[in-house]
Structure 1
Amino acid sequence: MALRDLEIRALVGRDRIYKKADERGLYLEVHPNGSKLWRFKYRLAGKDKRIAIGRYPDVGLADARRARDDARRQIQDGLDPVSERKRDKLVAAYRGANSFGDVAREYIDKMVKDGLADVTIVKANWILDQLSPIASLPVSELKPLEVLSALKRIEARGKYETARRSRSFASRVFRYAVATGRAEADPTAVLKGALIVPTVKHRSALLDPSAVGELLRSVEHYSGNQLTRMAMRLLPHLMVRPGELRKATWDEISAETAIWAIPAERMKMRQAHAVPLSRQVLQMLSELHELTGPSGYILPAFHTSRRPLSENTINQAFRRMGYSSEELTAHGLRTTASTMLNESGKWSADAIERSLAHVDRDAIRRIYNRSQYWNERVDMYQWWSDYLDALKLQGKGLPM
């Protein structure tokens, strides 16, 4: 006979567990402490099985019957309710352990193993912090609107470039989730036109030859730390990024071959880069070797030789010399070199781009260019150092 709520409420515990049947395999299990648990008994593949439905009164009579009917339909479809429940729990646990933040951190770990630069890893973790509103949500269930909402929060602070970079990072995380079977698609793909396009700000650089000559003379008379002055003397000649010079070590420098070999892990594009060393640069390195050689960083920090020169040291020196951040930055010296070398008309654009370590996306062409333009680059570096010396001496542009 079917149970009724009034009858169920009247049931009390006994010395042993006992059962009160409802209908179609549903029954109530009453424990000595008075707790009442719903169970559904069924037979599948010749075996008796049962499944727990819940505790009364948290699960009422009507709810227990609906759960029983759902289980019966699964059995009719050839499914085992116990196995299906285990699968659902595993899926729920899998989704719970695969939030956007979890997958993003796993993707960042992969970036570390792939050997990406420390600064790239730090930026990736910082961007993940910016995406905190979606970090706890299952990566497989995130919709474009939810991602856009997180990006718009960044935009609302006026951080248009950060929003753009965050969308790009999120896209890489979603693609990684798809590749590892934890998402079906990248919801950021439809958001490319939904963000404000940031205004491109070019790095401050000196482009007038007479201004470059004035800078070089000012550097020669710089009264601050000697290592800072050496860094400012070297940087215009080398065309490298400031971080690449700061972290240079003596074992990378070969005075015999006049080459500075920068390993791939220190380069922005993760490609090893060779820099021809002009006579002027070799002379400066010889002077520097007496101060910081023969091993370790060629430009160590002021307080310890175990670390390179501080990231802001060169720019701070430029500020003390009277140059504002709108006029000159250490990185902007690359723009100075690129502009003047192109304007000279003496060197191919490919040789200049290769000297700036701008990697060609065509792998075959990249290999060809590396060998094809080396001799031209050697000549170009020497010409560039000669030209800088002439600017420093005369304070005005000479005929190219």
Structure 2
Amino acid sequence: MPLELLTDRRVETAKPSAGQDRFELRDTKVRGLELRIGKREGSKTWALLYTRQTDGRVRRVTIGPYPEIGLAEARRRALGFKVNIESGADPATGIQESNAAPTFKELSDEWIRIHGPSKGAKSLSDNVSMLRRHILPVIGAKMAHDVTKRDVLRLLDLVALKADARLGKKSLAARKTRDVPVLDTARQLSHRPARVYEVIRAIYRWAISRDILAIDPTFGMKPPLKKERPRERALTSEEIKQFWTRLGDTPLTEGVKLALRLALVTAQRIGEVSNIVKTELALHGPTPIWSLPAERSKNREGHRIPLSPLAVRLIKEAQALSGESKFLFPSPKDDASIGSGAATKGMQRARPTFDLADFRVHDLRRTAATGMAELGFNPYTISLVLNHISARTGTITSAVYVKYSYDKEKREALESWGRRLEELVGAVIGLETVIPAAAP
């Protein structure tokens, strides 16, 4: 059987000799890759020969027909099979059982069902949204093992061309007429294909690890963006006053306004703030605290947030509005909380009122962290306030042996930040006196 470095020209012109029913060409660049050429109408099919690890038997798995699959794509797919074979997979068996294989939608549903409980609520919601809006309409009905690299690339191209659903036509028009930079919108759009790609890749890698599939179409693909540039937007002192005062002029509900202010005061994620259950709060005594359960935190780590006097004041206002609901910020439509979507969408609608360039809800958390740093608190304490997992489990000592909650240090930082906010917006919230900030 000929062994040679295959070229596009050689593959195109290869045919059986007189009297041959079939012959094969084997590639020297990718060991085991062969082009099987039949006598009838010159049919050509790519296949991969490999040795099954469990019993040492030589197996053959069909890759697909030529010219639908060219030389470069055949090599890429063969390499993908070889990676899985080295991990113990038997792709020939998987192909033989392809009639029972799932569609991509069925595969993604199973991934959500099994993998979803281990993800944070916001992360899971984002994954489901990307699947529903971008991925399933394009490849959901295809058999999961039939999705090709070209399918994924075409999907990512379509995603890059879509307008951002969070910014309606009126919002975009308002930005342009007010001469507000649209760089933030462009940045969102440019990074969305990368996040869609990550979801598809995660599903296929999970399917291979569970021996559901034998090959990953994203193998060898480069992410649309190598690294996402982190945002750096934090409000200045004047912008904090502007945000706080103009929030009152927006058409947002009082509950949403209080949730946004509380997010700034506590430095916590808007999803964790807007879904507060009243039983998480202990407001009486000299050290009021909010205990965020692990199942509600993004990193699945329980978190204790000391509450400053300003935070307690906002929470009591929210309690008065919430009535008998178990949620601090109940939804007016059903027995649920308003969720992070109410604040995020509300901010988009109220953007012209705020008149703050390139401003998002999550920037409130960065603003609080920056403010605490300006007050002299060290990065480790601020990371603890933010519940960053690196601060809690960065070393074996902190992860396993140190069980101290750091409530004292976090309280000093948050109370100093609360006093700083009172200095900035005290007149607005009706404080008769402003308490000077204590040195950390």
Q: CA deviation at 1:320?
A: 7.6
Gaps of 5+ in 1: 1-87
Q: CA deviation at 1:99?
A: 3.3
Q: Does 1:149 align with 2:178?
A: no
Give secondary structure in 2 for the equivalent of 1:261: strand
User: What residue in structure 1 maps to residue 373 of structure 2?
Assistant: 342
Count of equivalent residues? 310
Q: CA deviation at 1:165?
A: 1.3
What is the correspondence of 1:155-174 to structure 2 with a 5 Å cutoff?
Answer: 155-157=160-162, 159-174=189-204
Residues 323-342 of structure 1: per-residue CA shift (max 9 Å, x gap): 13635433221111112222
TM-score (norm 1): 0.64
Q: Does 1:126 align with 2:129?
A: yes
Paired with 2:248 and 2:420, the residues of 1 have a C-alpha distance of 16
User: What residue in structure 2 maps to residue 260 of structure 1?
Assistant: 290
User: What residue in structure 1 maps to residue 54 of structure 2?
Assistant: none
Partner of residue 101 from structure 1, selected from 86, 92, 105: 105
Paired with 2:423 and 2:297, the residues of 1 have a C-alpha distance of 31
Give secondary structure in 2 for the equivalent of 1:240: coil
User: What residue in structure 1 maps to residue 361 of structure 2?
Assistant: 330
What is the correspondence of 1:1-400 to structure 2 with a 5 Å cutoff?
Answer: 92=96, 94-112=98-116, 114=117, 116-129=119-132, 130-132=134-136, 133-140=138-145, 142-157=147-162, 159-193=189-223, 195-196=224-225, 200=229, 202=231, 205-206=234-235, 208-218=236-246, 225-256=253-284, 257-292=287-322, 296-302=326-332, 306-308=336-338, 311-313=341-343, 316=346, 319=350, 322-324=353-355, 326=357, 328-344=359-375, 346-360=376-390, 362=394, 364=396, 365-366=398-399, 371=404, 373-393=406-426
TM-score (norm 2): 0.59
Give secondary structure in 2 for the equivalent of 1:268: coil
Instruction: Mark the CA change 1:248 to 1:172 in structure 2 (over 3 Å): closer, same or farther.
Output: same
Paired with 1:225 and 1:90, the residues of 2 have a C-alpha distance of 55
Bigger Rg, structure 1 or 2? 1
Contact 1:275/1:355, CA 8 A, preserved across alignment: yes
Out of 130-139 and 250-259, give the one that drifted further: 130-139
Instruction: Mark the CA change 1:118 to 1:356 in structure 2 (over 3 Å): closer, same or farther.
Output: closer
Give secondary structure in 1 for the equivalent of 2:305: strand
Instruction: Mark the CA change 1:332 to 1:142 in structure 2 (over 3 Å): closer, same or farther.
Output: same
Contact 1:300/1:306, CA 8 A, preserved across alignment: yes
Gaps of 5+ in 2: 1-91, 164-188, 429-435
Paired with 1:213 and 1:245, the residues of 2 have a C-alpha distance of 21
Instruction: Mark the CA change 1:99 to 1:209 in structure 2 (over 3 Å): closer, same or farther.
Output: same
Instruction: Mark the CA change 1:102 to 1:204 in structure 2 (over 3 Å): closer, same or farther.
Output: same
| RMSD of equivalent CA atoms | 3.9
Out of 253-262 and 145-154, give the one that drifted further: 145-154
Q: CA deviation at 1:201?
A: 7.3
Paired with 2:264 and 2:119, the residues of 1 have a C-alpha distance of 27
User: What residue in structure 2 maps to residue 82 of structure 1?
Assistant: none
Out of 220-229 and 164-173, give the one that drifted further: 220-229
Q: CA deviation at 1:198?
A: 8.3
Q: CA deviation at 1:263?
A: 1.8
